[in-house]
Structure formats: structure tokens, C-alpha cells
Amino acid sequence: MEDKLYSSNRIVLCEDDLKEIFSLFSSTTKHEKTQVYSPDSGHYFLDTNLSEEYSLTEEKREYALDAWRAVLFFLNSKGYSLVKGDDQIDLGFSEDEFIN
């Protein structure tokens, strides 16, 4: 599959991208994040079934932080940065958002 994340100034996500984002979202520690990219682990993102239901058992604040961390890390891993006005924000800090 071609690794094309953007098209005509629009981000386009494939199924594998959605699997990766979900896996990062549900992996709050650095160890779990490493497992997301390990084919031998039970948490490898390509093994995620997006049709299965997922239940949240955490506070909405924690859910929001997990989602934010996952998206920032995903975008950083694909080489993206954020721009606000004249300021460009390097997303490298997203690595530090995972719990030790």
C-alpha cells in the first residue's frame, strides 16, 4: 500500500492509519507504544480490528488527553508539524506525552 497521507492540501487516512491511531490512543505508556509497532506483540496496530466495539472506562478528561497524544504522535511520526500564524510547532514533544 502506498504511504500517501495527504492529497491536495487535505489529510487522507487509510485503514492502516486508523488502526495505528487507535492503537496509539489505547496505549498510554512508552512500553505500550513500542508494542504498537512490534509485529510479535499482541498490540501490533495492523492486527487491530476496527469493526470491534471498544468501551471506555476512564474520565472524559483522560480520554481527551489520550486522543490528543495519539494524534500528535501519529502526525509527528509522519513528518508533520503544526503552524499557527507565523509560528511552526515541532511535534517532537509528543514522545514525552507517553507515561514512563
Q: What is the DSSP string of 69-93?
A: HHHHHHHHHTT--EEETTEEE-GGG
| SS3 of residue 54 by DSSP | coil
Share of the chain above pLDDT 70, in %: 91
Separation CA 33–CA 99 (nearest Å): 10
Mean pLDDT of the chain: 86
* Residue 4 backbone zone (phi > 0: left; psi -120 to 50: alpha; other: beta): beta
The sign of the torsion formed by the CA atoms of 46, 30, 92, 24 equals positive
Taking the complete model, does pTM exceed 0.85, yes or no?
no
pLDDT range class, residue 46, cuts 50, 70, 90: very high
Work out the number of other CB atoms within 10 angstroms of the CB of residue 37.
15
More confident residue, 58 or 46: 46
pLDDT of residue 6: 56
